[in-house]
Chain A
Amino acid sequence: MTTTTAQSGLSRARKGIAPSGTGSGNRKSKLSAQTTRTFFWLLLPSVVLLVLIHGYPLIYAAVQATHDGDLLQTGDFVAGDNFAKVLSSPAFWKAAQFTLMFTIVGVFGSWLVGLGLALLLRTKIPAGGTFKVLLLLPWVVPIVVSSTAWNWLVATPDSLIPSLFRNLGLGTPLFLADPNLAAITVMVFKVWVSFPFMMMMISAALASVDSTVYEAASMDGATRWQQFSQITLPLIARSTYISWILMTIFCVNDFPTIYLLTGGGPVNATTSLVVLAYRTVFQDFATGPGVAIAFLMTMTLVVISVLLYRQIRKSSVE
C-alpha cells in the first residue's frame, strides 16, 4: 500500500517538477535546513548510548589502567606502572601468543572449511537448501549449549570421543587435560562454531557470480584449478577480505568459546588475552593490570580497525 502511494507521489512529482523549476530550488534549501535538524534528532539516541556504553567506559578504563586500586575504589596514580607490570609478565606474553595462534587457526581454519562447503553447496544437489540451514546451526546454537555438548564428548577419558580413540587402538587422548591437546581442541571448537559464518559470506558472494563466465572459460580450455584460482577466488576476494577482518576481531575478542570449554586451563595453556584480563580483574581483583591488558588490546584493535575500515571503503569504491 505504501509503495503504491509513494509511486503515485513519484509520478506526480515527475509531472510537477518539470514545468515549475523555480519553486523546487527554494524548497530544497528549506528542506536541507530542516534535514540537518531532523538528522540530529534521529542520531541523538544512538550518540547518547555510544557515549554511555562505549565512550565513558573507555575513558574510565584509561583512568583505571593508570591507577592502583580495586573494583571498589580507584587508588593512587601510578602512571605506566600497570602497563610495565603487564608487559614484563610472562603470563601476558603467553596469552598473547595463544591469542595469536587461536586467531590464525580460527580465521583460516573456518575460512577453508566454509569455502569448501560453499563450493560443494554451490551446485544443485538434492536437499541442498536443507543442508545449508543445518550447517548454520553451530553458529546459531548458543556457545553455552555447544560447549556443554563438547564437554560431554571429550572432557573425561570415558567420554565418547576418547573411548572411540581407545577402541581404535589410538590410546586415550586427554583432550582437555593435556595442555597442547587442550589448545588444539579449543581451536577446533572455534572453527566448528565459526565456519558457518564463512560459508554464508562466501555463498553470498558466489551466488552473484555469473555462471556463463565458467562456461566461457572451460570452452577456452581452462582447467578446474585455473577456473578456481583465476575466476572464483578473485570474485570472492572482497567478501573473503571482509570476513577475515571480522573473524579476526571475533577471535581476538572471544571469551565464551575458550572460557566455557577449558576455563583457560590446563596450566593456562588456553588462556587468551580476554580470559587473562577477566581473571586478573574478577578473580585476582587486580583491576589496574587487568584493565591495562584490555586497554592494550583495545589500542591495537583501534589501530587495526581504522586501517582496515579505510581498506574496505577503498575496495568498495573500486
Chain B
Amino acid sequence: MSAVVHAHPQSGPVLGVAGPAKNKRVLSEAGDRGRWWRFTAILLITAIVLVPIMVTVVLAFTPGPNSTATGLTFENLASVFSGTLAATWLQNSLITTLSTVLVSVAVAAPAGYVLSRGRSKAVSGYSLLLFVMQSLPIITSVVPLFILFAAMGLVDNLLGITIIYVGSTMTVATWMMAAYFDSIPISLEEASWIDGCSVFGSFTKVVLRNSLPGILSTAIFAFLLAWNDYLVAIVFLRSNEIFTLPMGVQSFFQQNATDWTSVMALAVVMMLPPIIVFATLNKYFSVGGIGGSLAGR
C-alpha cells in the first residue's frame, strides 16, 4: 500500500513535510528495492519479447552454410542484393510509401481542418463516415478495385497500389490531423482574419505552419501502413520486378525456405526503414493513429 507513495519519488518532499524524516528514509529504501525488482522484470520481459527480432538480426549477419567467413559478415546482405531484385523491391517500396505519405497528408490535412473547424451536420456526418470506412475489411474493396484497376491497366502497377494505400490511410490520417488542429486555438486564426486573411490563407499560413508535430505523426502512420502492407500487394502485384519488399521477402522466403541467412538478410533490409523512422521521430509516434486521435477528441 505504501509502495505507491514511493513509486513517485519526485513527490517525496510533499509527503516529507507531513511525516517524520526517518519514516521517509524507510519508504525510499523499500522504493529502491521495488524499483530494482521492476527493472529486472522489465529487462527479462523485454529480452523475451525481442527474441524474434534479435534472431532476425543475428541470422542476417551469420555466415551462410556455404560460406567460409567466420564471425559476423555482410556476405548475406551482399548476396541478397546481387542475387535477387532486392534493390528494385526496396526502390518500389520507397516510391509507393513516400508517395502515399505525401498524398495522404496533402489530402488529409485540408479535410482534417474542415472536420476540426466545421460545426455543420454535414461535417459531423462525414466524420462518422470516415470512422465507419476505416473499420471495414479492406478485402471487401479489394475485389471490386481489382476489376476496376484491371480495366484501367493499374494491376501489377505501383500507381495502382499507391492509390489504394492513399485511400486506406486517408480516413485515419484525416482524423489524426483533425485531432491535432483541435489543439490549435481558433483565436490565432481570428486574428489573421481581421488582418484580412482568407480562411484558406489562415489555414495554410497559421494552422499548417504550427502543425508540424501533427503532420509528422500522420506521416509516420501512413508510412508504417504503406510499408507494412501485404494484402493489397499480394492481390495487385504479379511480376517480380514490380514487387514491393513484403512481396519480395515473401516470395524469396517461399523459394528458399532453408536458406535462412539470406532470408533474414532481406528481412533486415525491410525492417530497417520503419525502425529508422521510428527511432528518429519517436516523439511524434502516436501508436495506432486513430487511437490517439479518438482519445484526444
Residues of A within 8 A of B (CB): 2-3, 6-7, 9-13, 16-17, 24, 27, 31, 34-35, 38-39, 41-43, 45-47, 49-50, 52-54, 56-58, 60-61, 64, 71, 117, 120-128, 131, 133-146, 148-153, 160, 192, 196-197, 200-201, 204-205, 211-212, 214-215, 217-218, 221-224, 227, 238-239, 242-243, 246, 249, 252-253, 255-256, 259-260, 274, 277-278, 281-282, 287, 290-291, 294-295, 297-298, 301-302, 304-306, 309, 312, 316
A214 touches B275 (CB 8 A): no
A255 touches B133 (CB 8 A): no
Q: A45-B111, A138-B49 are in contact. Are A246 and B4 (CB under 8 A)?
A: no
Tell me if B190 counts as interface (CB < 8 A to partner A). Answer: yes
A35 touches B56 (CB 8 A): no
CA A238 to CA B113, docked complex, whole Å: 25
Q: A192 to chain B: which residues have CB within 8 Å?
A: 49, 52
Q: 1/0 per residue B192-223: CB within 8 Å of A?
A: 11110011100101100110000000000000
A54 touches B135 (CB 8 A): no
Q: A131 to chain B: which residues have CB within 8 Å?
A: 42-43, 46
Q: How far is the CB of A30 from chain B (nearest CB, A)?
A: 10
CA A124 to CA B190, docked complex, whole Å: 43
Q: How far is the CB of A253 from chain B (nearest CB, A)?
A: 4
Q: B134 to chain A: which residues have CB within 8 Å?
A: 249
Q: How far is the CB of A60 from chain B (nearest CB, A)?
A: 4
Q: How far is the CB of B183 from chain A (nearest CB, A)?
A: 14
B229-276 contacts to A (CB < 8 Å)? 230-231, 235, 245-246, 249-250, 253, 260, 263-264, 267, 270-271, 274-275
A152 touches B35 (CB 8 A): no
Closest to B170 in A: A49
Q: How far is the CB of B97 from chain A (nearest CB, A)?
A: 11
Query: Chain B binding site: helix, strand, loop or mixed by DSSP?
Result: helix
Q: B200 to chain A: which residues have CB within 8 Å?
A: 38, 41-42
B295 touches A205 (CB 8 A): yes
A12 touches B195 (CB 8 A): yes
A42 touches B114 (CB 8 A): yes
A143 touches B228 (CB 8 A): yes
Q: B41 to chain A: which residues have CB within 8 Å?
A: 120
Most buried by A among B9, B38, B137: B137
Extra 4 A-B pairs, beta carbons < 8 Å, given A242-B295, A243-B291: A27-B193, A121-B42, A274-B139, A312-B294
Interface size bracket, B side:
35 or more
Most buried by B among A11, A45, A47, A121: A45
Tell me if B110 counts as interface (CB < 8 A to partner A). Answer: yes
Q: How far is the CB of A297 from chain B (nearest CB, A)?
A: 5
Closest to A214 in B: B4
Residues of B within 8 A of A (CB): 1-5, 7-11, 14-15, 34-35, 38-39, 41-43, 45-46, 49-53, 55-56, 59, 106-108, 110-111, 113-114, 117-118, 123, 126, 128-148, 150, 163-164, 166-168, 170-171, 174, 187-188, 190-195, 198-200, 203, 205-206, 209-210, 224, 227-228, 230-231, 235, 245-246, 249-250, 253, 260, 263-264, 267, 270-271, 274-275, 278-279, 282, 285-288, 290-292, 294-295, 297
Q: A127 to chain B: which residues have CB within 8 Å?
A: 39
| Count of A-B contacts judged by CB separation below 8 Å | 337
Q: B53 to chain A: which residues have CB within 8 Å?
A: 137-138, 141, 146, 149
CA A259 to CA B133, docked complex, whole Å: 23
B111 touches A9 (CB 8 A): no
B140 touches A298 (CB 8 A): yes
Q: A45-B107, A212-B11 are in contact. Are A6 and B191 (CB under 8 A)?
A: yes
Q: B131 to chain A: which residues have CB within 8 Å?
A: 305, 309
Q: How far is the CB of A5 from chain B (nearest CB, A)?
A: 8
Q: B2 to chain A: which residues have CB within 8 Å?
A: 218
Q: A138 to chain B: which residues have CB within 8 Å?
A: 49, 52-53
> Of B3, B170, B210, which is within 8 A of A3 by CB?
B210
Q: A71-B143, A125-B38, A214-B8 are in contact. Are A6 and B14 (CB under 8 A)?
A: no
Q: How far is the CB of B11 from chain A (nearest CB, A)?
A: 6
A6 touches B5 (CB 8 A): no
B250 touches A139 (CB 8 A): no
B143 touches A148 (CB 8 A): no
Q: A34 to chain B: which residues have CB within 8 Å?
A: 198-199
> Of B141, B188, B228, which is within 8 A of A144 by CB?
B228
A294 touches B295 (CB 8 A): no
A9 touches B191 (CB 8 A): yes
Closest to B224 in A: A140
Q: A52 to chain B: which residues have CB within 8 Å?
A: 163, 167
Closest 7 A/B residue pairs (Cβ): A53-B167, A57-B141, A46-B111, A60-B144, A9-B191, A42-B110, A149-B52
A53 touches B147 (CB 8 A): no
